[in-house]
Amino acid sequence: MTGSKIAHFGLARQYKNLKAELLEATDLVLRSGELMNGSYTSAFETWLAMRTNTAFALTVHSGTQALEIIASWVRKTSDDNHDHPPIVRIPNITYVATLNAFAKAGFVIELVDTDKNGLMQPDKENLLSNFTKFSCNVGLYGANPTLQAVTGHNYNDVVDGAQHWLVADNVGAGMAISFDPTKNLPASGNGGAIVTNDRELYEYAYSFRSNGKPDHESAGTNSRMSELDCAHLSVRANYIDKWQWRRKEIRHYYLDELRNVDVRCLSREHLVHADQKFVVYTDKRNELHQFLLDAGIETKIHYPKTLSELPIAKHIYSKPDMLSISVNLTRGLLSLPIYPELADSEVEFVASKVKEFFAN
C-alpha cells in the first residue's frame, strides 16, 4: 500500500459502482420531460418521512436552506407570542451554516461550550419568563445528541441533522438534513430536506420553498430539488443500509486497532452513531496529518476553528473563551477516511500508519 492514494471521500468509487443505475435514472427523468415537482420528488419525500419516522418530509435546495427555513419559522412563531427576539443556543463546534441560519433570522445567539466529544453542554441558566429560548442540537460527526426540555421556559429544540439524521431518535420541532456530496446519503450536487411532525412547520416550509405559493401570505424563495436530484437519491437510498453497516464496521476496526494508541477517538463512547466522520484527537494533530499525507492517506480537519473565533461572531456577547473545552478540542481534531468503498486492506493500512506514527 505504500505510496498509494487513499482519498478522504469515495464518490468516484461510488459512481463506478452505481453508474448503470444512475445513468438509467437520468435517462428516465430527462425523457419524461418532468424536471421539477414530479413523481421522483414525491417518492423520495415519502421514503424520507418513513425512514425518519416523521409525518412530513420536504426536499429543499440544501441542508443550509433547510435550517434557514426552520429558523425563519421558529422566529415567526416566537414573534407571534413574545415581544423580544428569541435566544438560540448553538454548540461552539459545528459548520458555520448553523450559526448563519439563525443570525439571518434575527435570533439572539448564545454560543455554548461543548463536552470533550464536541456535543453541546446542557443549559443550566434560569431565564426571564418574557424571553423564548431555543436550542439547535447538532449531531457532530454523526453522534446522536440528547435533546433537552426545560419545563416552564417554552424550550422548543430544533435539530441540525446534517451529520446524524440516519440515527436521530428525536427531530424536535423540525430537523434539517443535508444531502451534500460529502454526506452519508449524497446527492449529485446540492440537496437538503426538512422533516417534522408539525403540520404548521411543514405548510410554512412548503410555501416558503416556492416563493410563498399559493397564497403569498409571507415571503419565500425558490428552494427546490429537481427530479433528477431526487431520482439519484432514490437510487442511492437503496444502498444506504449496506453503506451504514460498512461504515460501522470500519469504525469498530479503527476503535479496536487504536485502543492502545495515544489518540482519543471521539466516537468511542457512542453506541449509536451515524459514522459520518471518524475523528480522533491528538496533541500532535498537525504532525500526524502530514505523516499520513506523506503515506498517501488524505485526512481532513473538521473544524480548525470554533464558531466563537470567526469574524461573524465578534459581536456575539455570550460565547466560550479561548480556554474553553471546545477551543482546545479544535486544536487536535483529525478526520480519518471512513466510507463504504474503502477496501479492508486500505482500512488496515490507515490504522497501521496511525500506530506507526505514535510508535516512532
Which residues, given as ranges, of the chain have pLDDT below 50?
Answer: 1-3, 126, 128-130, 149-155
Structural contact between residues 354 and 258, judged by C-beta atoms closer than 8 angstroms: yes
Structural contact between residues 233 and 180, judged by C-beta atoms closer than 8 angstroms: no
Q: Does CATH number 3.90.1150.10 belong to domain 239-359?
A: yes
Q: What local confidence, expressed as pLDDT, does residue 108 receive?
A: 92
Q: Say how many residues make up the chain.
A: 360
Nearest CA-CA partner of 243 in 266, 271, 276:
276
Is the peptide bond preceding residue 214 cis, with omega within 30 degrees of 0? Answer: yes
How far apart CA 178 and CA 156 sit, in angstroms, is 21
Nearest CA-CA partner of 113 in 332, 320, 331, 329:
320
Which tens digit of pLDDT belongs to each residue from 203-252?
999 999 988 888 888 788 889 999 999 999 999 999 999 999 999 999 99
Q: Does CATH number 3.40.640.10 belong to domain 18-237?
A: yes
Q: What local confidence, expressed as pLDDT, does residue 132 receive?
A: 78
Q: Where are the domains of the chain?
A: 18-237, 239-359
Q: What local confidence, expressed as pLDDT, does residue 220 receive?
A: 83
Q: What local confidence, expressed as pLDDT, does residue 129 receive?
A: 45
